[in-house]
Every structure is written in structure tokens, then in C-alpha cells.
Structure 1
């Protein structure tokens, strides 16, 4: 499926956006996307470990944006899986962004996605509201489209011990995205794997710092700013130690 062809779903069936905190007049927004499975048509259950894993990230972002009129929400998936060309998680992300734009207007929005949620965030990042993506251990399979990411800021964070999604695949995707005109930077988290549980505090703090930096609430780390400015073809700044 082409990266630009994430079609909206039929209206009126499933609300893909759930707010965690929403000021009266938000000037920006953050959406958090949890992981999932390659295949799975069942709805996520009431007890959903991939979703629970992301609540500390929600709380870290809420603390980091306190007083800044930033709405924070999560994307609710219809299905547990990506499901091939259906790209269900990406469609739900696009639907959530459409709901967000209708409710808040075209406010700058950062997507934070883990694993399948990282893939969904990257696939849906061409939406006009998206100011940037923080992809945590993203699932970036061979051939994942990147041409739609021109002008987008993509920050990739991957544990060096990840055995579920490939850190090298993340770097390769970032190279292709940069060649397509995206602005990319990446961190490699030492002694950490896919679940984001080992060195969890570092993951939470890093995601909050990168997110608030993308929203312009403070400067991004100097090494990230330098990497974002590198031209297409330069592999620098895509495997920064953390």
C-alpha cells in the first residue's frame, strides 16, 4: 500500500481518538500510539498490555507540557494487528487526526508511537496537523514507504538489544526518509530492548523532551538539531548513543 494512500474510514463507526487531558483552548496536541501485532482482527481487550505500557509516556508528556495548553490523547485501534495491506493501525491514526482537527482546529501535533504504533505514526505523518513523530522501537519493515515524509521531522529511538523490531531497520528507514526530504535524527538506547521497560525512566524522559522540543516549548538537544539539518544522503545523527 502506498504511503500516501491511508484512506479515511467510514464516519460514524469507531471513534479512534480518546483524550487523556484537554485544556479549554489547546494550542497544540500530542497523540500516543501503542504497539500491536502483525496480524490480528480482534479488538484490543479491556486489559491491554501494549496500551498500559504507554501510560507512563502519557503522564511524562502531561508533566512536561503542564501549563502550555497542550491536549494529550491516545489512538484507539479497532484491531490488535496491522493486517497487511489493510494497515488498520495507520487508518485509525489518520481517523484520530481527522477527529483532532475537527475538534481543535489545525493545531501542531506530535505523534509518539511504539512498535506497530511507531509504524502507524510514520505512515500517517503526512497529515497536515503533524509537526513531528517520536518513534519508539518502530516497526520499519523492508519496503515501508517513506516518500510521503518530505518536510516532516522524525525522531527515532531504538534499544540496541531489541529482538522484536530491528534497530538497523530503523536506521535504514531513516536514511530513506531523509533522502525523501524528511528531517531525521535517531538515538540508540544502550542495554535496553523492545518492551521499553529496562531503563524505563530514560525512555519516558527522552520521549517527553523530544516531544516538547518538536512543539517548540524548548530547544531540542543540540545533537538532534544538528542531525535534523543534515542533507539527504548523510547518515550522520541516526545512531546517537543514549
Structure 2
């Protein structure tokens, strides 16, 4: 029998990569979730992939601000419904963070598929806030897990890959569960977040550092959260 008849490749495992910087004994943690594909069982381990590289500047920015930051490396590139592999990996990562840093409040920062995983994983006991950038949503995602969490969603008005209308509809439902929900529209930018990088970074930084008590809360974000729906869910950024 040919050796090739056997599948001897190891089963992929999720991995947490700690970003340089941040305190040795953190008071708060950020978990960064990068994007992926709707369907793919290709291992997600390559660091050269754009979905991974796109979130590194955010992770480094937050680490330099004094937070302990982890980037999750999924087992697979795809969401792979109904398995929702990225969500399973995000839940594993939150459990691992809770084991490493017991009692540390944790915020989630995700882009595209990672934004979807972040919103769905928000029910973990150590999660206090979720920032979803251009999240991939389709109307089937629940909101009950967001209770008592703070939520910021941002979408570019030139988006072509994920639907801003879906994130707006999701924000409307989320606002019924947690009043601390806001949504921003980044003018002139699309899914890759390359035309207005400073605006995306400013929103994520202001929200996460404010919610985790590292810096005073961002006034424009606070104002958006104070508004009743639908106000505060289509705020122009910049």
C-alpha cells in the first residue's frame, strides 16, 4: 500500500500570539481576530496573508498603548458554517486568556469574519467590550450575548465585500440588548481599510482604551452611545 494513501498531516490547532509591549501582569487584555473566508479548510497559519497582516497595526498600536494584546491564529481560513470554526477558536482563545490572566477584563477587536466571531463570542464571562470593523453579517447572528457589553461597529461607505446594511440592522437589534451600542460610517473607505487608516485606528483605539479604563472615554463615541436608535448607529466618522 502506498504511503500516500494515508493522511499523516497533523490536525491544525488554534494559537495565541502575544504582541510585544504591554505589562507583564495585565489589568486588561485585547484579543484581535483577523478576517478569513466564508468556506475554506486550508490551514490559516501563514503570516503573509493579508487578512492577518491587516490587523497587525491595530495590535501593535494597542500594545504600545499599554495593553496586553493577543492575535488569534485560527485553525482554518474559513468560517465553515455550520461548524463556525472561527467562533470555536475565538471561544477557545477567550478561555485560554482567562486561564492566563484570571479576572482581567477582555475586549475583542475583529475585522470582517473576525468581527462576526467577536460579536458572537462576546458572551464569555471575561468580555466587556467588542469592536467590529467591517463585520461580515447576514441577518442570522444573535445579539443576546451582547447584554452588559459595550459595542462599536464601523463600516466604510465604499464597502464591496461585506454589507453595511447588515451591520446597521444588527446594530439596531443590539441596541435593544445593550444601550452602549454605536455604529460609525467611515467615508471614502472600503473593506481593506487602507484609504482612511487613521480614522479606523482612532475609532478602535478610542473605544477600546476608554472601555478598558486606560484613557478617558472618547467623547464622540460616548455621544453616539447616548443617542436613541436609530441615531448613533450611522454616525459619520471624521
After the TM superposition, which residues 1-242 of structure 1 pair with which residues of structure 2 at under 5 Å, given as runs?
14-21=13-20, 22-46=22-46, 47-63=48-64, 65-66=65-66, 70-181=67-178, 183-230=180-227, 234-242=229-237
Alignment TM-score, normalising by the size of structure 2: 0.89
Structure 1 consecutive aligned stretches of length 4 or more whose deviation exceeds 4 Å: none
Q: How far 1:223 sits from its partner (Å)?
A: 3.1
Q: How far 1:73 sits from its partner (Å)?
A: 0.7
Whole-Å Cα distance in 2 between the matches of residues 73 and 61 of structure 1?
10
The alignment partner of 1:112 has SS state of: strand
1:68-93 CA-to-partner distances (Å, cap 9, x unmatched) read xx211101100101011111111101
The alignment partner of 2:82 has SS state of: helix
Whole-Å Cα distance in 1 between the matches of residues 201 and 160 of structure 2?
20
**Rg comparison, structure with higher value:** 2
Would you say the 8 A contact 2:150–2:178 is kept in 1? no
The alignment partner of 1:203 has SS state of: helix
Would you say the 8 A contact 2:35–2:115 is kept in 1? yes
Higher relative contact order (CA 8 A, sep 6+): 1
Q: How far 1:99 sits from its partner (Å)?
A: 0.4
The alignment partner of 1:36 has SS state of: coil
Q: 1:182 to 1:80 in 2, by over 3 A?
A: farther
Would you say the 8 A contact 1:152–1:182 is kept in 2? no
